[in-house]
Amino acid sequence: MELKYPIVEHMEPGHLACAGCGAALAMRLALKVMDEKTRVVIPASCWSIIAGRHPDATLKLPLIHTPFAVAPSVATGIRAALERLGQRDVTVMVWAGDGSSYDIGFGALSAAAERNEDFIYVCYDNEAYMNTGVQRSSATPPGAWTTTTPYPTLKVERKKDLVGALVAHGIPYIATASPSYPQDLLTKFRKACGIKGFRFILVLCPCPTGWRMEESKTVQVGRLAVESGVFPLIEILDGRWRLTHEPSWIPIEEYLGAQGRFAAMGEGEKAAFKQWVQERWESILERLDASGSSPVLSG
């Protein structure tokens, strides 16, 4: 891959994330391709804490914290002001969790996408309300334990297809990324920076605390998510779909078995989980085919 791993750091050491936090790693990587003018907008989330307690600041960038549901709206206001001030070269980036993006702030996200606001919206998805101590969100996958879906209930519903929802808005750029694939992530963020209009990047961020796994396994579990096909790495530029990494199709059990949150799944739940993953892939393959970029998939 042509992209070198940039040494630039806009994130300081000593942040307040849990050990092994995928969301901290994702931010560090993403900022490597952003410039120092970037405005970062963070709604209530783990990152409200990770960013540091005054006067400490994890990011060396202008950052604004917002209420839970309105980060895209605050970003809209910042963008509008920058435009009126003639500072069009400044990037605005919302960095929001799944609780904000999938649930409480979904309306504002949809509205900003519909208006094709000129900023990057990143959903760092750790698949539950982790900052409040692991409660179910609509991003939580089926079969997962959380404190509000305790054994023996578990999460029954499928994970909301947020990418699909954003596709329906017809925005210029959508991508999924994983900090376990830094080159892929960096390429997508760099590409997003060069596009005007609403750009959406969904980053799956393993959370050792909520996923019930060892802190040292973050990168590994992120890889298992991608290689098992649970989290496809894709890119949709102006409606054209592209698979940016072909999974090696390891058994889904390897991904599930690496995390305590799935430990209570029975055979029925596992079958339902696999069915969900398979149906998503069928849909993705159709889209790829329609975009003329069908991969050759084995498995």
For 155, phi then psi, to 5°, come to -80, 125
Q: How many whole angstroms from its chain centre is CA 297?
A: 24
- CA–CA distance, 182 with 5 (Å, rounded to integer): 8
Q: Are 125 and 101 in contact (CB under 8 A)?
A: yes
d(CA 23, CA 62): 19
CB 135 to another protein: min, Å: 20
Which region, judged by CB under 8 A, interacts with another protein, from 55-63, 128-136, 197-205, 263-271? 55-63
Among residues 57, 195, 237, 264, the one that binds another protein under rule CB under 8 A: 57
Check if the beta carbon of residue 154 is closer than 8 Å to that of residue 144: yes
Q: Closest approach of Cβ 154 to another protein, in Å? A: 32
18 counts as binding another protein under rule CB under 8 A: no
Question: Number of C-alpha atoms within 13 angstroms, CB side, residue 23?
Answer: 30
Q: Binding of another protein at residue 123 (CB under 8 A)?
A: no
Distance CA 13, CA 22 (A): 15
The answer to whether residues 210 and 248 touch, using CB atoms and an 8 Å cutoff, is no
Region from 17-25, 76-84, 124-132, 241-249 binding another protein, contact rule CB under 8 A: 76-84
Shorter beta-carbon distance to another protein: residue 26 or 82:
82
The SS3 of residue 59 is strand
Of 72-80, 172-180, 222-230, 277-285: span binding another protein (CB under 8 A): 72-80
Q: Which of 24, 29, 61, 258 binds another protein (CB under 8 A)?
A: 61
Least gap, CB of 165 to another protein (angstroms): 15
**Interacting stretch for another protein, rule CB under 8 A, among 24-32, 70-78, 182-190, 200-208?**
70-78
With CB under 8 A as the contact rule, the residue among 81, 156, 290, 297 that binds another protein is 81
CA distances from 60 to 11, 36, 63 (A): 6, 8, 9
Question: Which residue's CB is nearer to another protein, number 57 or number 167?
Answer: 57
Q: Binding-site residue total for another protein (CB under 8 A)?
A: 44
Q: Give yes or no for residue 197 binding another protein (CB under 8 A).
A: no
Nearest Cα neighbor of 102 from 221, 200, 247 is 200
- Comparison of 115 and 240: residue with beta carbon closer to another protein: 115
Our finding on whether 88 is near another protein (CB under 8 A) is: no
What is the rounded CA–CA span in Å between residue 60 and residue 82?
20
Query: Is residue 37 close enough to count as binding another protein by CB under 8 A?
Result: yes
Amino acid at 28: R
Q: Residue 180 corresponds to which tokens in the numbers above?
A: 């376990």
Per CB under 8 A, residues contacting another protein are: 36-39, 41, 48-49, 51-54, 57, 59-67, 69-70, 72-85, 90, 107-108, 110-111, 114-115
